[in-house]
Structure 1
Amino acid sequence: MAIKKWTFTVDPGEANLRLDQLIAQRTDLSRRTAREALKLGGVQVDRKRTRVAGRLAKPGAEVRVAYDPDLPPVPDVAIPVVYEDAWILAVDKPAGLATQGTWATDRHDLLALLKTQRPDLKPFLHHRLDQGTSGLLVLAKDPKANPGLATAFASRELEKLYLARISEPLDACTVEAPIGRRRGADPGRFGCEGDLIDPKSARTDFRPATAEETAGLAPGHYVVARIHTGRTHQIRVHLAHLGRPVLGDALYGGASSDRIWLHAWRLGLKHPITGEDLRLEAPPARFRA
């Protein structure tokens, strides 16, 4: 089922209603389900999440409600650490896990799990991975690392390599095609052609993966992708543009599979504090035969 969403403004006559009562009155959720949505972080008042069912919303306040009836239990998985020092943390994000909270929940994502498992951490996010994509994600642990990481990701002063499995072979090539959101697409998706909203330049280099790089992986056609820009769904969109969508990527026409075969594999960057050249790698364990 699709996520249910509502946005409304509190009327003066509703000023004395508890938030769970108000939500039940203005949506098709029961009061009990409204409390569940609040607990999961799916309610915002004036763009700020709240979990207080007994809160009285002020007239004129904007209330946003999102409820996903298909949400699984809050995950309890250990997040593998690839690299850590006093300033930064690099982890191997599991597939199927959102990087940060969504409209419907802020308890089912990587940041929430890290904060639960490491209460001492106050991580700062500078880039994201799609929910279905696994692999390397770098976060700042210390605010002093924020400027350096922000500059690196914004100015492309790093090397990001991904491993993708596709259904047919692909020769080495470079795709320079702008990416924008497809107007009216439901579910929402991006593209390189047609009626696009705010298309932005995007460049991706592709090459076939070597036998050494794919040793031990499930048999198939693998490509290594290097992105020079950071557009939403960039690799997925550019491969679909080439007629070689990622295996398992139903949104962009990929052949059916039990997973999206896309992994953030290697990352090269300068340490934001020490200036040391870091070469990080997260082996694609879930691709193993």
Structure 2
Amino acid sequence: MEVSIQLPKNFEEQTVRELLEQEWLVPRKVRHFLRTRKNVLINGEPALFHFPVKSGDIVTLQFEPEDYPTPAILLGDASTIDVLFEDEHLIILNKPIGMKTHPNQPDENDTLLNHLAAYLAAKDQIPYVVHRLDKETSGAILFAKNPFVLPILGRLLERKEIYRRYQAVVSGHLKESLSIRKKIGRDRHDRRKRVIDEQRGDVAVTHVDVANYLKKTNKTTIYCVLETGRTHQIRVHLASIGHPIVGDPLYHSKPVGRLMLHAYELHLTHPFTGQTIVAIASPSLW
């Protein structure tokens, strides 16, 4: 695998070592091999780790197969893939409802990851999961297209530099926008579920913006923005305030129809180009 990146205009001059270690998060073992094999080029010329790199330089990294072991992913159906954005490093998809993000067993081949692996096989690329959506949730989801960019995207996610906005329809009249700050933990009685657990749970914050009250059906359309990314976070938080998501098979006492939760928008700044990427997953819930 070879990766070539032209450093953007706002790039601050630094050494090759600083770039690989601090900016691009290349693992120590892989950095060692890049150095000993002389597999780092600047503008086509071999570079030592103390060499400076600056805006406009083209940095090329030449990886060997053993640097990043290839994961085994069964190929699914490439025709199911709905691409919202794609370049050589990352891809954003519109996940259909009722499809798992990734396999939980090695023989599964009907998840979004399997289908994406089939789509990328023709390009000699392999997908890597950056974050996930519940099986019942539809919408925008981000994958890495190589193992090099995966930790960089993971850091953006940890730093809350990937903006995700969801649409949902909840039962009842939610009268005002609010932020829900309640810790979430595992349900000891049902392994599928999560519960509010202020003693042992993980910090979770969901910002809720009311869009419209549907008086005839006594439902409220809302937008949600995650500050944290706990399993079932939006679903558990909304159920905890008495407004479960319509159609939720786990947290609604009378689920009817599909889970009305949709990852509508995903924004991020591309880690290499500085481009602002805005992906909108249509159709929306309303």
TM-score bin (small chain): 0.5 to 0.7
Partner amino acid, structure 1, of 2:185: G
What residue in structure 2 maps to residue 190 of structure 1?
A: 194
CA-to-partner distance for each residue in 1:174-230, whole Å, 9 max, x for gaps? 0111000011x2353111148x7x41000000011269xx9xxx9952110000001
Partner amino acid, structure 1, of 2:210: P
Return the alpha-carbon distance in structure 2 between the equivalents of residues 77 and 86 of structure 1.
20
Structure 2 gaps of 5+ residues are 1-70
The residue matched to 2:114 in structure 1 has which SS? Answer: helix
- 8 Å CA contact retained: 1:248, 1:254: no
Return the alpha-carbon distance in structure 2 between the equivalents of residues 153 and 172 of structure 1.
24
What residue in structure 1 maps to residue 143 of structure 2?
A: 139
Segment drifting more, 149-158 vs 74-83: 74-83
Return the alpha-carbon distance in structure 1 between the equivalents of residues 208 and 226 of structure 2.
9
**Residue 75 of structure 1: CA displacement?**
6.9
Return the alpha-carbon distance in structure 2 between the equivalents of residues 50 and 125 of structure 1.
12
Structure 1 gaps of 5+ residues are 1-47, 52-73
What residue in structure 2 maps to residue 163 of structure 1?
A: 167
Number of equivalent positions: 210
Return the alpha-carbon distance in structure 1 between the equivalents of residues 204 and 254 of structure 2.
24
Partner amino acid, structure 1, of 2:269: K
Q: TM-score, normalised by structure 1?
A: 0.66
The residue matched to 2:180 in structure 1 has which SS? Answer: strand
Return the alpha-carbon distance in structure 1 between the equivalents of residues 269 and 181 of structure 2.
26
Return the alpha-carbon distance in structure 1 between the equivalents of residues 257 and 77 of structure 2.
19
Partner amino acid, structure 2, of 1:236: R
- Counting aligned pairs with the same residue, the percent is 32
Query: Which residue of 110, 116, 120 corresponds with 1:114?
Result: 116
What residue in structure 2 maps to residue 246 of structure 1?
A: 245
- 8 Å CA contact retained: 2:265, 2:280: yes
**Residue 160 of structure 1: CA displacement?**
1.1
Q: CA RMSD in A?
A: 2.8
Query: Which residue of 137, 150, 154 corresponds with 1:150?
Result: 154
What residue in structure 1 maps to residue 226 of structure 2?
A: 227
Return the alpha-carbon distance in structure 2 between the equivalents of residues 129 and 154 of structure 1.
16
CA-to-partner distance for each residue in 1:229-252, whole Å, 9 max, x for gaps? 010000000001111111111211
Partner amino acid, structure 2, of 1:160: R
What residue in structure 1 maps to residue 66 of structure 2?
A: none
Return the alpha-carbon distance in structure 2 between the equivalents of residues 78 and 219 of structure 1.
35
**Alignment map for 1:178-217 (pairs within 5 Å):** 178-183=183-188, 185-186=189-190, 188-193=192-197, 198-209=200-211
Return the alpha-carbon distance in structure 2 between the equivalents of residues 245 and 146 of structure 1.
34
CA-to-partner distance for each residue in 1:159-182, whole Å, 9 max, x for gaps? 111001112121200011100001
- 8 Å CA contact retained: 1:93, 1:134: yes
Return the alpha-carbon distance in structure 2 between the equivalents of residues 151 and 50 of structure 1.
24
What residue in structure 1 maps to residue 104 of structure 2?
A: 102
Return the alpha-carbon distance in structure 2 between the equivalents of residues 186 and 167 of structure 1.
23
